[in-house]
Amino acid sequence: MTPNAIYPYIIREEYLSYQADALQLVKPLGHSTHVTLVEEMEGVVKSLKAEDLNALNLTPTQAYAKAIENLENLLIDGVIQMQRFAQGPNGRPFILVGGHWGAAACILLPNLPNLAKNSLQTEELCFSIPHREALLIFAKADRVYRDHMRAMIEEMEGNPAKPLTPGLFTFQGDVPVALGE
């Protein structure tokens, strides 16, 4: 194992029972989802444990920083795709990040909100992680618009093999937080 194979990974709360050996590496995200660390091996991921980090001489903080850096490199290198759609619900643009098991975890990238704000020309954003291979970013706007986006996301991304949450997120500073509605 190398530090370059470490990535953040989003799991549903019910998977925590399978993470007993790694609970100290799990962080709550919101809407019954959590972030953990995984090792990627030829497209398959394995949860990391404290002893894995010890073997690499990494603290959990260092491992999370390396995982975010590795994830960002996947996006920069085009392994994870990001596409802006000019015409979503109500004629508004949105961004889809996808094509890879790590796409939903891109919600953790601290520079993504600023990039999305510029691309979507809005100051307030919403993020949806319906499953591990999709992150949708759109203007927060009003509840009616968000409901139209939820309906589109359900239609386009519903029924996935690895569902995460229908809940939406926004950002406070550079940290994603669950949007309560």
For the purposes of burial, counting CB atoms within 10 Å of the CB of 18, is it exposed (0-12), middle (13-18) or buried (19 or more)?
exposed
Domain shared by 88 and 157, yes or no: yes
User: Which tens digits make up the pLDDT trace of 130-148?
Assistant: 999 999 999 999 999 999 9
Q: Which of 17-21, 47-51, 97-101, 116-120 has the lowest mean pLDDT?
A: 17-21
Average pLDDT for the chain? 90
Provide φ and ψ at 12, rounded to 5°. -80, 155
Work out the pLDDT band at 165, boundaries 50, 70, 90: very high
Total domains in the chain come to 2
Angstrom distances, CA of residue 19 to CA of 24, 26, 49, 94: 9, 8, 9, 34
Give the end of a domain, one of 76, 99, 115.
Answer: 76
CA distance 181 to 179: 6
Domain shared by 172 and 93, yes or no: yes
Domain shared by 166 and 93, yes or no: yes
Q: Given a cut of 90, is residue 162 above it in pLDDT?
A: no
Domain shared by 87 and 174, yes or no: yes
Domain shared by 21 and 63, yes or no: yes
Structure tokens at 121: 């020309």
Domain shared by 86 and 170, yes or no: yes
Residue 136 has what pLDDT?
97
Q: Given a cut of 80, is residue 1 above it in pLDDT?
A: no
Give the end of a domain, one of 19, 44, 76.
Answer: 76
Residue 41 has what pLDDT?
86
The parent domain of residue 19 ranges over: 3-76
Domain shared by 140 and 159, yes or no: yes
Contact call for residues 95 and 136 (beta carbons, < 8 A): yes
Domain shared by 93 and 173, yes or no: yes
Q: What percent of the chain clears pLDDT 70, i.e. is strictly above it?
A: 97
Domain shared by 40 and 10, yes or no: yes
Domain shared by 124 and 153, yes or no: yes
Give the end of a domain, one of 76, 109, 125.
Answer: 76
